[in-house]
Structure 1
Amino acid sequence: MYKQSKFNLYFENGGVTFLYNSHTGVFVTLNKEYQDSFEAIRNKNFKNIPDQHIEKLKEAGFIVDENTNEYQIYEYLTNKSKYSNDYLGLTIATTLQCNFRCPYCYEDHMDSYFDEDKEKNLVDFVFKNLEGKRDLSITWYGGEPLLQLDMINRVSKQLIEKCTEEKINYHFNMVSNGYLLTRNVAEHLVNENKIESVQITLDGGPKTHNMTRILRNGKGTFNKIMDNIKEICDIIKVNIRVNVSQDNIKDVHELFPILLENDLNRKVSVYFAPVTSHEGSCQSVTESCLRTEEFSKWETELINYADRLGFDMGKLYPSNLGGSVCTAVSDNTLVIDSNGNLYKCWNEVGKDHLKVGTLSDGITNNERYFNWIGWSFPNKCYDC
């Protein structure tokens, strides 16, 4: 006997019946015959259902064996991902300093850089933790990582040589504000440092962006960043993050006509992220922050707006994450700041009292480390 999956979403729109399973990632339309079969299974009426229908619905994950505990399976996949020993993922803040002064930034911009000793400790730490690994993922971060391009050059060269020698797959990416990312710099990052993609933030159109993504002297940055994106999008994958707050929701709409005018449709990807208030940070912009429910409504509206204009937002429905969760709760990922401190969460970088260890000593704050790693699904998730 079978039952419908707890991960099914069944709905109708425009006279068409849709069925989506958030575990398998399968998304289909149902014709009348399959609708009848699926409805019969939901009502535990298994008479006269074609074997082919049972086979196809089961293959897609829409129905499962009656005794299957799907949450148990997902817990297994999550733990498998969390505790995998095949992969090492590191986010490295080359410096805590930045050429921007965004009012919602959660970091304290200190003059902190990797000196020669800390750089050696970083390479030694990565080499030591690469033993037995098949994959290495590095995200260069900051502050603004390009303020320390020479450091990225030196470290990347050693990591690439090591991975090539040990036959370890490597993937290097970057989070940058984009202001210094000229074509020459991008070509260097791709050819010498094997950077595959870069995330750049645009806070809507020029009006609101130039109030929040500002240089140290308070001047706006939209036009410079837009020019850089146009210059580099053919040689490196550009992911544009749009921070959405109470203050810029309306102006975010202005971004898409500009992207279209600059011939960036299908050349860049765009996604939205809410401005949120983190512990010990963002307090000056708390009133601008959006709750998840508020953000989700605006996100849907913005995606529909972009679609109406003809801007390709890519595949919009959620895909199966295979049990993957936030990197902060995974045993195989760490954030490293330019003081040589180790953290579990990006939002804590540079806050000395929140570190879990150092490059030279390894994990020293076991209580904090295992508090992150010990995360499990909240009880409310089992009723969702």
Structure 2
Amino acid sequence: MYNIVSPDENLIKRIAFFAKDESDFCEYKNTRNLFQKIAEQEISLADFYKQSEYNYCEKSVKRCLIYNPLYNTMVSLTPEEYQQYIGKIGVDESGERFFVQNGLWVEDSLDEKKGYSRMAKMMHIYSSPEPTLILATTQKCNAHCAYCYEKGVEHKDFPADKIDKLVQFISHLDWHKAVHITWFGGEPLMNVPFIDEVAQKLGEAGVPFYSSMISNASLVKEKLVQEHFAMWRMKHIQITLDGTKDEYERIKAYSDKENGKFENIIDNIGLIARHGTSVDIRVNIDSNNITDTVKLFHQMEDIFLNNDKVRYYPAFINGSTCDVPVEMRVDVLYDILKQMQNPAKIMSVNRLYNPPLNASCHRAQPNAFAIDADGNIYKCEHDIGRCNNRLGDVEQGLYGEDSRKNPPRLRKECEDCVFSPKCYGGCESNYLKSADPCMVDRYIIPAYMRVILDK
């Protein structure tokens, strides 16, 4: 028996505490002192145990891997140790302690779901996340992706006469921490003057902020990176690739064929990384480009294997007739991972180590907003340009109290899912469209475990 990923013992103690404690959350007052008190407790052995409800197992002939997404632990067991784990044969005290301290066994009376639910609710109430804004500089785009969820949205730039109101709205947010702005579109680089002006005015107003961007990178130039990124306080950029050269150019269908050449995008990724901004390459996968995306990951490794600033992010297209069937997704990701020299370059793999979530995504977080090119305010970028979903606008502010201050509830099917600590219900926008809401973690964790077993 040995650890591949070491457990977070404090999480094990917290879940046990919240499962048994019935105090009203307002009684805690100082959560830091409470967590310190919990951390000082011992994990002691009990009389009776059961397997954790959050254990996920992948087996081969020679060994078994068990990963627990709640406690962030992964262990490797021999077939005999696995029989001890499931209670088929006896285990000595050191083996028992190993299972308990890794969260694989919990006390028979422990209600883990209750403990996780109460801990998540308390964290949602008392955490103070930094304000997060997804800001559409424009709703125009120079690409014409068939899967774009902004189809039918009016193509327009953010109006210059609303910039001061926008800056005022941002200034009034609770920014005891820095404000995180994601420049969005359309293609955000089609309105560089807007980004310049907002960044400048936020700086003049003394608002601490940093930014990222979601872009196709076709309009990136060295002068832009050198002269603007520092003023924008750019930390990272997400760039989508839909396959190798022919597939990519076909799907993007750029208005400007020259700037949109695949080779130019690859060069621009390298340029951005050389200047110190990290790049996440999002690879969109549907049933038509599976084989080509495997080739793309090979190509990316040839170019960026030793570039610490570049990572990859596989993502399944959802809500179209070309969706990869849910039952195939683990196999697709396994085929990608098993051929990679460094699977850890896939950012989702690194989320194995993340603490359990208390909300799914941007849409469920208070103090997180998406703002369209009319100045309308929404919960999520999927709503941009559709006024019936707005929460307010930059001139009037929010029209009412933001209900997201209340802890979100997990749907029953998610509550019963072993991977719920990694996505807490997943993408609500996809769920509302009857598309698969699960985050890619749901599929990449089993795929990655199979790769480990192969070694």
Report the TM-score, using the length of structure 1 for normalisation: 0.83
Aligned counterpart in structure 1 of residue 213 of structure 2, from 154, 174, 188:
174
Aligned-partner Cα distance in 2 for 1:322–1:202: 29
Counterpart position of 1:157: 200
Counterpart position of 1:347: 382
Residue correspondence of structure 1 range 149-298 to structure 2 within 5 A: 149-160=192-203, 170-216=209-255, 220-234=260-274, 235-267=276-308, 268-277=310-319, 286-298=320-332
Amino acid paired to 1:322:
P
Assess if the C-alpha contact under 8 Å between 2:294 and 2:335 holds in 1.
no
Aligned-partner Cα distance in 2 for 1:244–1:356: 32
Alpha carbons of 1:218 and 1:119: their partners in 2 closer, same or farther (altered >3 Å)?
A: same
Aligned-partner Cα distance in 2 for 1:272–1:76: 32
Aligned-partner Cα distance in 2 for 1:248–1:123: 42
Amino acid paired to 1:129:
L
Amino acid paired to 1:117:
D
Shift of 1:263: 4.6
Aligned-partner Cα distance in 2 for 1:79–1:312: 31
Assess if the C-alpha contact under 8 Å between 1:274 and 1:290 holds in 2.
yes
Aligned-partner Cα distance in 2 for 1:24–1:381: 17
Counterpart position of 1:362: 397
Aligned pairs, number: 362
Alpha carbons of 1:260 and 1:290: their partners in 2 closer, same or farther (altered >3 Å)?
A: closer
| Secondary structure class of the residue paired with 2:266 | helix
Aligned counterpart in structure 2 of residue 100 of structure 1, from 119, 127, 143:
143
Assess if the C-alpha contact under 8 Å between 2:376 and 2:393 holds in 1.
yes
| Secondary structure class of the residue paired with 1:289 | coil
Deviation digits for residues 6-53 of structure 1 (CA, Å, limit 9, x no counterpart): 11123322512222111121112135785465334xx6x9x8631x44
| Secondary structure class of the residue paired with 2:183 | strand
Aligned-partner Cα distance in 2 for 1:232–1:260: 17
Residue correspondence of structure 1 range 128-143 to structure 2 within 5 A: 128-130=172-174, 133-143=176-186
Aligned counterpart in structure 1 of residue 339 of structure 2, from 294, 297, 305:
305
Unaligned runs of 5+ in 2: 1-45, 418-455
Aligned-partner Cα distance in 1 for 2:245–2:190: 24
Alpha carbons of 1:257 and 1:20: their partners in 2 closer, same or farther (altered >3 Å)?
A: closer
Shift of 1:348: 1.3
Aligned counterpart in structure 2 of residue 87 of structure 1, from 130, 140, 145:
130
Assess if the C-alpha contact under 8 Å between 2:136 and 2:158 holds in 1.
no
Shift of 1:214: 2.1
Aligned-partner Cα distance in 1 for 2:245–2:97: 53
Aligned-partner Cα distance in 2 for 1:109–1:223: 30
Assess if the C-alpha contact under 8 Å between 2:281 and 2:312 holds in 1.
yes
Assess if the C-alpha contact under 8 Å between 1:356 and 1:364 holds in 2.
yes
Counterpart position of 1:116: 160
My pick for the range that moved more, 151-160 or 340-349, is 151-160
Counterpart position of 2:50: 3
Assess if the C-alpha contact under 8 Å between 1:140 and 1:175 holds in 2.
yes
Counterpart position of 1:69: 111
Alpha carbons of 1:188 and 1:5: their partners in 2 closer, same or farther (altered >3 Å)?
A: farther
Aligned-partner Cα distance in 2 for 1:64–1:137: 39
Amino acid paired to 1:243:
N
Unaligned runs of 5+ in 1: 278-285
Assess if the C-alpha contact under 8 Å between 2:212 and 2:235 holds in 1.
yes
Report the TM-score, using the length of structure 2 for normalisation: 0.71
Amino acid paired to 1:227:
D
| Secondary structure class of the residue paired with 1:232 | helix
Assess if the C-alpha contact under 8 Å between 1:20 and 1:28 holds in 2.
yes
Alignment of 1:126 with 2:170, yes or no, is yes
| Secondary structure class of the residue paired with 1:256 | helix
Aligned-partner Cα distance in 2 for 1:163–1:61: 46
Alpha carbons of 1:300 and 1:97: their partners in 2 closer, same or farther (altered >3 Å)?
A: same
Residue correspondence of structure 1 range 4-43 to structure 2 within 5 A: 4-30=51-77, 35=82, 37-40=84-87
Assess if the C-alpha contact under 8 Å between 1:97 and 1:144 holds in 2.
yes
Shift of 1:327: 1.5
Deviation digits for residues 236-262 of structure 1 (CA, Å, limit 9, x no counterpart): 111101111122222212313432443
Shift of 1:136: 2.4
Aligned-partner Cα distance in 2 for 1:101–1:142: 13
